[in-house]
A = this chain, B = another copy of it.
Amino acid sequence: MVTSNVSKTAGSLVSQWTFAGRALELESSVIRDILKVTSQPEVISFAGGLPAPELFPIEGLKKACQKVLEEIGPPALQYSLTTGVPPLRRYLAGRVSKQGFEVDEANIQVTAGSQQGLDLVGRLFLEPGSVVITEIPTYLGAIQAFNFYGAKYVSVDMDENGVLIDQLEDKVRASKPRIIYIVPNFQNPSGITLAEERRHQLVEIAKRYQVPIIEDNPYGELRYAGKEVSSIQSIGGDYVIQLQTFSKIISPGLRIGWISASKEIMALVERVKQATDLHTNTFCQYVITEFAKDGSLDRHIEELKVAYSERRQVMLDAMQEHFPEEVKWTKPEGGLFLWVELPRGMNSAQLLDKAVEKKVAYVPGSPFYAQTIGENTMRLNFSNASPEKIVEGIRRLGQVFKENLPKKS
C-alpha cells in the first residue's frame, strides 16, 4: 500500500528536495497558533479578531444567493475578469468616491480579502532588502505577507494621535523605503486613529520623497465615537493605494476585499493578480453586489455599529472596575481592538498561561513589535464575545493582573 511508503520516505523527501529559501523561513502566524490554544469552549477569548457571528446577515445573503443564481445564472459561475466583476467594481467605485477620491470602476481591483491585497502590494513593490515604513506596533498579517518578499522594516513610534510625523520623515529620509504602510483607523492592534492634520503631513512626505502610501483600512466604516476624519486617499489621491474589505462589515468567510488606486497602478496590480489566482470568486462578488445594493449594506453597518459600540463601552467600563490602577489602556473610537499596557516588569506572554487557567485569553503584544519590546502589552478584541461574557472575562483578567503585579519596592 502506498501509505506505508509515505511515512517512511516523507521526512527524507523534505530534506532531499530543494525549496525556495524564503518559503522555509516563513513563520506561522503567532496569533493563529495562540488561537489554537485559546479556542476551548469554556475560555472567554479576547484573542481573535473575529466579527460577532450572530450579527452575520444570513437572511440577506440567503436571498442574494437565490437572486444571483436565478437572475444572473451561468455567468455568476463562470470564469470572470481578473479585475473583478463590473457591477461590484462600479458599486465599490461609488463607495470610494464618497470618501472624496473620485474614481470609477477602472480604479478598483477586487481581491480575495485584504490579506491578498497586502500580498499583491508586496509582489508589486518589494524585493529582498526593500524597506517598509510601519507603525509600531503594526498589523501582523502585513508583516507576514511582506516577509515573503524579503522586506526590512523601519518602525515609527505612535502616540494617541498615531505615528509621530517628524520621526517618520527622518526615517523616510534615512532609509529610502519602497512603501509607507499605515493602518490609519482604529488600528489593529492598538485601536489608535491617525489624526486629520497628520494625514495631510503624511501625504506631503509621500510627495516629497516619492514614496507610495499603503492605506490599510479594514475598519474605517466602524466608528462608534469621535469625529470622522478624511481617508488618506481622499487627501493624497494617486499617492495612495487603499485596501478595504467586506470581512468586518459583511463576512470574512466570503473573502472579498478591494484595492483602490490610480489607473496606472491598477494595470500593474491586475497583472500580478492574474498570475496568482486568475480572478476572485465570481459568485460571491455577485452575491455581495446583490446584498449591498439600495442602501442595505449601509443599514447593516448601522446595526453592527450599535452592537459593537455597546461591547466596546461594556469592556471599557469593566476594565475601569476590575483592572488594577497600574494598568493602562487605549479608548478606540471604532474598530474591533483595544490595547492594554501592564506595569513594566510584567510579561503578558508569560501571564497568558495563568489567564487561560482562569478561562480567559488575549494576544500578548510583543509579536506586534518588530523588536523585542512591548512585553508588558496585550491586544483585546471586543467584537466577538457577548456583553455578558466581556464583563466576566475582564473580571477574570483583572484578577490575574492583581495577583501578578510586581511587588512595590
In the bound complex, residues from chain B placing their C-beta under 8 Å from that of A270 are 28
C-alpha gap A124/B26 in the complex (Å)? 10
Contact indicator B79/A253 (Cβ below 8 Å)? yes
Given contacts A11-B264, A65-B65, A149 and B253 within 8 Å (CB-CB) = no
Contact indicator A115/B69 (Cβ below 8 Å)? no
**Interface: A102 (CB within 8 A):** yes
In the bound complex, residues from chain B placing their C-beta under 8 Å from that of A32 are 82, 274
Q: For A50, give its contact among B16, B78, B82 (CB under 8 Å).
A: B78
C-alpha gap A400/B26 in the complex (Å)? 54
C-alpha gap A210/B282 in the complex (Å)? 39
**Interface: A409 (CB within 8 A):** no
Given contacts A125-B20, A126-B20, A149-B20, A58 and B77 within 8 Å (CB-CB) = yes
Taking the nearest CB of chain B, how far is it from the CB of A13, in angstroms?
6
**Interface: A268 (CB within 8 A):** yes
In the bound complex, residues from chain B placing their C-beta under 8 Å from that of A101 are 2-3
**Interface: A61 (CB within 8 A):** yes
**Interface: A74 (CB within 8 A):** yes
Q: For A6, give its contact among B11, B126, B238, B268 (CB under 8 Å).
A: B238
Q: Which of A3, A11, A29, A147 has the most CB of B within 10 A?
A: A3
Task: Look across to chain B and name the residue whose beta carbon is closest to the beta carbon of A3.
Answer: B102
Chain copies in the assembled complex: 2
Taking the nearest CB of chain B, how far is it from the CB of A103, in angstroms?
8
Q: For A277, give its contact among B78, B148, B255 (CB under 8 Å).
A: B255
**Interface: A377 (CB within 8 A):** no
* Total residues of chain A contacting the partner, CB 8 A: 100
C-alpha gap A110/B143 in the complex (Å)? 23
C-alpha gap A115/B82 in the complex (Å)? 12
C-alpha gap A331/B124 in the complex (Å)? 42
Contact with B along A44-69 (1 / 0, CB 8 A): 00001011011010100110011001
In the bound complex, residues from chain B placing their C-beta under 8 Å from that of A11 are 264
Contact indicator B276/A254 (Cβ below 8 Å)? no
**Interface: A372 (CB within 8 A):** no
Sample (7) of A-B pairs whose CB atoms are under 8 Å apart: A14-B265, A20-B123, A23-B125, A61-B77, A77-B252, A115-B278, A255-B279
Task: Look across to chain B and name the residue whose beta carbon is closest to the beta carbon of A101.
Answer: B2
Contact indicator A253/B238 (Cβ below 8 Å)? no
Contact indicator A275/B145 (Cβ below 8 Å)? yes
In the bound complex, residues from chain B placing their C-beta under 8 Å from that of A247 are 79
Contact indicator B264/A281 (Cβ below 8 Å)? no
Q: For A210, give its contact among B17, B69, B278 (CB under 8 Å).
A: B17
**Interface: A113 (CB within 8 A):** yes
